[in-house]
Amino acid sequence: MRALIQRVAWAEVEVDGTVLGRIDHGLLVYVAAAPGDDDRQVRWLADKVVNLRIFEDGQGKMNRCVRDVRGGVLVVTNFTLMADAQKGRRPSFIGAARPEEAEPLTERFVKAIEASGVPVASGRFGAMMAVRSQADGPVNVMVDAPAAPGS
């Protein structure tokens, strides 16, 4: 699994004119699954998101995680994070899991964040989503979960 994590002052996701998820300060997390990902990657990535210290402490150092600042997490699925644009002009998406594999992994990822006690909201898997946010920093971190053995 791969996530692009952005520290935000606020973020929301809308589908067909309806806001499905909104957070105030916290993390906007775009997430994608790769073929062969399983619950190990889900748990590892959820733990990383919840505990990643990218919020400033009293001395201005990135020493606090989203839980420490009582922030929320907005999860938006985004298979294009798995794009390979090394060759040609059109990216290849063969590195992304098929929807029937990716959707349940994403659902378990959201539940794992929720189980950690951090408020979480999400968009709708496979939908055309409008995402609005205000970056805080900006601070953006790309995180790849370790691949499953044999992948």
CATH number, domain containing residue 111 = 3.50.80.10
In-domain check, residue 151: no
Residue 150 lies in a domain: no
Taking the CB of residue 15, how many other CB atoms lie within 10 A of it? 14
Give every CB contact of residue 79 below 8 A, 6+ residues apart in sequence.
Answer: 32, 33, 93, 96, 97, 102
DSSP H or E stretch at residue 43 = helix 39-51
Assess if residue 94 is contained within a domain: yes
Note the pLDDT tens digit of each residue in 103-142: 999 999 999 999 999 999 999 999 999 999 999 999 999 9
Which pLDDT score is estimated for 151? 58
Query: Which one, of 20, 4, 53, lies nearest residue 12 by Cα?
Result: 20
How many domains is the chain partitioned into structurally? 1
pTM to 2 decimal places: 0.95
**What is the per-residue pLDDT across 53-68, written as a single tens digit (0 to 9) for each?**
999 999 999 999 999 9
Domain that holds residue 63: 2-144
When the pLDDT of each residue in the chain is averaged and rounded to a whole number, the result is: 96
- Encode burial over 38-59: b for 16+ CB neighbours within 10 A, e otherwise: eeebbebbbebbbebebbbeee
Checking if the pLDDT of 147 tops 90, the result is: no
